[in-house]
Amino acid sequence: MDSKACPDFGPNCHLSSIRSIIKAEKSNNHGTEKYALGHDELRPLSNLSKDPFGGWGATLVDSLSTLLVMDLEKEVESVLPELEKIDFELDKNVSVFESIIRYLGGFLSAYELSDKQNKILLVKAEQLANALLPAFETPSGLPHSFWNTMQRSSPSNYTLFAEVGTLQLEFMVLSKHTGKPIYKEKAQAITDLLDRMAYEHGLEIPGLYPTGMDVQKGRFRDSVCTFGGAGDSTFEYFLKEYLLVDGTVPQYAQMYIESIDSMKRHMLRQVMDSDLLFLPAYNTRLGKLHNNNMEHLTCFVPGMLAMGAKTFDRPDDLIAAKGLLETCVYMYRTSGTGLCPESWSMIETVPYNPITYNRPLDELSKAREWWYSPNDMTPPKRKEENVRDTYDTNYKLPVAPQRLSTIKPFNRNYLLRPETVESVYILYRITGDPKYQEYGWEIFQAIEKNCKTSSAYAAIHNVEKTFSDSPASNQMDSMESFLLAETFKYLYLLFSPPDVISLDEYVFNTEAHPFERISRD
């Protein structure tokens, strides 16, 4: 799956870039250890801490795999005693979803990346999974969204599509290493339930799963489908489950392809006379867009589509992947800070059509003239521009364009999210096009310029404003653990040789924790 476009990792592969990213990761890690050890997150302005994920050390655990990918083993060894202290019996409601993707995924990935030498990582993974298993004891088998591990209770029977379908990788890997099938059986039961969903369960369009679910009844509670928050990662896991088990379970492929085909048919939009694509939420009951907004969270989709295109030989999916990624990068490159808003609106879009997508209007007009004029069955030639069989490693990005008036930021926060650099990394690995490295480097420089604090990195209030003299005035006292777990990891891998965490050998969970593929043997 990986491209060999830059096999020698020479000067054109940004050797200095990788050093800068390692420095940023180490700086963040040291700041967290100094001011927030034993807590979930560091507040990067006040140097205080907060505990939104149970107080089990989310940033510490989430960063383990990144440190190991960067060959910073000593950094990991130094925190192992702190990890041993974690007690998962807690009289507090914790997110089952977040606990699985951040903690369980973090422990298991670090266990594999440390050559399975640090047994405490597997021990803690199993302890956490066992503390959460009672949350799955519902009539449907769907887990509760929040769970009190001490009281063994939940405040609600409401959960989200993304939450029930984003635990399969972690549970399958845990069963692999413990030899206990209960975890993968719980995960497979959920996948089977989703696979059986039909109109009577609230599924209006095959493959377009709404977000809200009832864990008691095992059915959907609304009709809005989104590849953004509340829906996103389950679609991703359909593909990644197939990859994790080396293509041995056709069910996962069928569910993925059905969802992608329906998404392209009903949800995907294009901006005429441009290379921009748009993926808003969709009301499956009403058969129309739910709104005109696209979230940064949706920017994982290009990477997913590119991997699916490569896996299942679906070239049109790669075209769609490139178009969606251009939109995500466009929102970075056209903002005042060089950073992307949390969400944005786009008007004057039309349904995606692979024939008319990214074709100049004058060319389409000529095609229309051809259609209505006497002619044989030879279609008009499509003018292919900017197509290269080999890529120039000295490629430089053109100057960022002026933003179209039909595209406007909706939520102007920048929360240090990883989805765009995730897709940039995957598209670079698959195509070898150096423009993706340039995109990634621009984003990293914008993070350094606008988000750096004395101890770590901070989220941004308004990506449209620049405070060159005092960037701190635009900073928020917030840094989620995914900056260390995902954003910096994907940037590091973007400039690494293709055999470093090869996409042919590893599958990333939704928190960027790489798992070894389970071979057919």
Catalytic residue among 25, 62, 75, 98: 98
- Answer yes or no: is 250 within a domain: yes
Amino acid identity, position 362: D
Q: What is the pLDDT of residue 469?
A: 66
- 248 C-beta neighbours (distance < 10 Å), count: 11
Burial class of 124 by CB neighbour count within 10 A (0 to 12, 13 to 18, 19+): buried
Is 299 within 8 Å of 278 (Cβ atoms)? no
* The predicted structure's pLDDT at residue 520: 65
Q: Are 193 and 168 in contact (CB under 8 A)?
A: no
Residue 400 lies in a domain: no
Q: Which residues contact 223 (CB under 8 A, 6 or more apart)?
A: 202, 204, 210, 283, 284, 285, 286
Residue 410 sits at φ, ψ, to 5 deg, of -105, -60
Determine contact, residues 294/279, Cβ cutoff 8 Å: yes
Ordered mean pLDDT values, 10 residues apiece, the chain (521 residues)? 51 66 90 94 98 98 98 95 97 99 99 97 99 99 99 98 99 99 99 97 98 98 98 99 98 99 98 95 98 98 98 97 98 97 96 90 52 42 39 75 94 99 98 96 96 96 84 95 98 95 98 93 58
Q: Which two tokens stand for residue 421?
A: 């650099």
Strand partners, 457: 452
- Look at phi and psi of residue 156 and say left if phi exceeds 0, alpha if psi is from -120 to 50, else beta: beta
Residue 131 lies inside a defined structural domain of this protein = no
* Residue 437 CA, distance from chain mean position: 18
Q: Which of 419, 433, 486, 511 is an active site residue?
A: 419
Q: Which of 342, 422, 433, 511 is catalytic?
A: 342
Q: Any catalytic annotation for residue 348?
A: no
Q: Is 98 one of the catalytic residues?
A: yes
Contacts of 378 (CB under 8 A, 6+ apart): none
Pick the catalytic residue from 41, 112, 232, 236.
Answer: 232
Is there a contact between 332 and 263 (Cβ–Cβ < 8 Å)?
no
Q: How far is CA 24 from CA 61, 67, 400, in A?
A: 17, 11, 26
Active site residue 342: yes
Whether the full predicted model's pTM is greater than 0.95, yes or no, is no
Instruction: Phi first, then psi: give them for residue 283, nearest 5 degrees.
Output: -90, 105
Domain ranges, residue 227: 11-55+156-368+405-516
Is position 161 within any domain? yes
In a domain, residue 381? The reply is: no
The answer to whether position 179 is within a domain reads: yes
What pLDDT does 17 receive? Answer: 78
pLDDT tens figures, 185-228:
999 999 999 999 999 999 999 999 999 999 999 999 999 999 99
Q: Are 463 and 412 in contact (CB under 8 A)?
A: yes
Could you tell me the strand order of the sheet in which 269-270 lies? 277-278, 269-270, 350-351
Question: Is residue 508 helix, strand or coil?
Answer: strand
Q: Is residue 473 part of a domain?
A: yes
Amino acid type, 515: F
Q: Does the annotation mark 232 as catalytic?
A: yes
Question: How many domains are contained in the chain?
Answer: 1
Q: With respect to residue 74, please indicate whether it lies within any of the assigned structural domains.
A: no
Integer-rounded Cα Rg, in Å, for the chain is 23
Say which CATH number the domain at 252 has: 1.50.10.10
Supply φ then ψ for residue 289, to 5 degrees.
Answer: -60, 140
pLDDT of residue 375: 41
Residue 319 CB contacts under 8 Å (≥ 6 apart), including other chains:
354, 357
